[in-house]
Structure 1
Amino acid sequence: MGEKKSTKLCKYCQTEIPAKAKVCPKCRKKQGLGCLPIIIIVIVVILLLSLLFSGGSDSNEKENGSSQGTETSGGESSGQDSAEEIDPEEYKAECADLVYNDVMRNPDDYIGSKFKVTAQIMQASDGITTGKYYKVFTDDGSGYYFDKMIWVFDKRDEKSEDYVKLLEDDVVTFYGEFNGLQETENSLNGSKGEDMSLDVYYAEIVKEAE
């Protein structure tokens, strides 16, 4: 093996100087470390750039994942929020017996409350804006339906398999919600009054008209 050189050339003046000399004795200029600093700088820059690109990629993936998660959550939410049909039997079970005088005395306290009432249809009509509605009377306790008068607005789905057309003189148990008092006027003497009105969603015929 050859001996290691004990001298080197100055980078600036090309004078032969000791190999370990850091300053040229002739031109007094410091001798650099060659290409090593440049190589180190390049490596550091490459590492920094790779870290930056890597961080940006991770951020995009997280954003995409978050976006996809939001869309999925939204889809599930809309599915959960969609109104499901209430089971008829459950709805009927929620309806309390109508106490006419209590509701008439404090109508505002009962708006939207669910009630059931058995009454006889005395008049059946079909309005342009209101749809089918009935003038009904409750039983006075003697078996005759001439007691309390109620306006019943038929909100049932005519396409339902359980739908049945109601006729005048039918005795029906109605299930629905109190929607307030209906202002009425007597066609004979012009006197005005207020009558109870119900939005009905289910009905069961107790006795068909003869």
Structure 2
Amino acid sequence: MNNEKTKKCKYCKSEIPADARICPQCRKKVKGGKLKWIFLLLVILMIAGAASGGKKESSKGSRSAGSSGEKTTVTPITYLSVSVDDMVAELEDNALNASDHYKDTYLEITGKLSNIDSSGKYINLDPVNSDFSIYGVQCYISDDTQRNAISNMKKGDTVTLKGQCTDVGEVLGYSLDIDEIE
């Protein structure tokens, strides 16, 4: 006799209440199991995301790939020329607009070298026309050629860099991945 208020235990086949989580006869868990499927799905999605995300193109241009018989073309990057002074002024006026304007954009920026990281991972540029600034551009060094060029510089030097702006924030300012040091 199986009605809406009872169900059969999948282990011992006894009639048990429909809302029972544990069979009163065999004491095995009869309800649930959805959590493990949700967890498995999340793990699969994370693996797929890790496999497809985070890939960074190593060349300084965008490629258009054709079939195996066609040549691969590289489109040169166009850099927007801007000073750190202008970037900081725009950030102070409206961080949202600054983010919309500069984030993920290739920039040629000029600023005053204010910090050289001792581990050689980054430098900071501040506005040229300011002795003190809350905001600046943290520029990440990507190779030994850049590191060697920076090792010959001093705080206060005016520097022009080319790179991609990767982050904009009203607390820390801008982040830039360096492509070239001029």
Measured against the shorter chain, the TM-score band is 0.3 to 0.5
Give the number of the structure with larger relative contact order, counting CA–CA contacts within 8 Å between residues 6 or more apart: 2
Q: What is the TM-score of this pair, normalised by structure 2? A: 0.45
Q: What is the TM-score of this pair, normalised by structure 1? A: 0.40
Tell which structure's C-alpha radius of gyration is larger. Answer: 1
The structure in which a higher percent of residues are helix is: 1
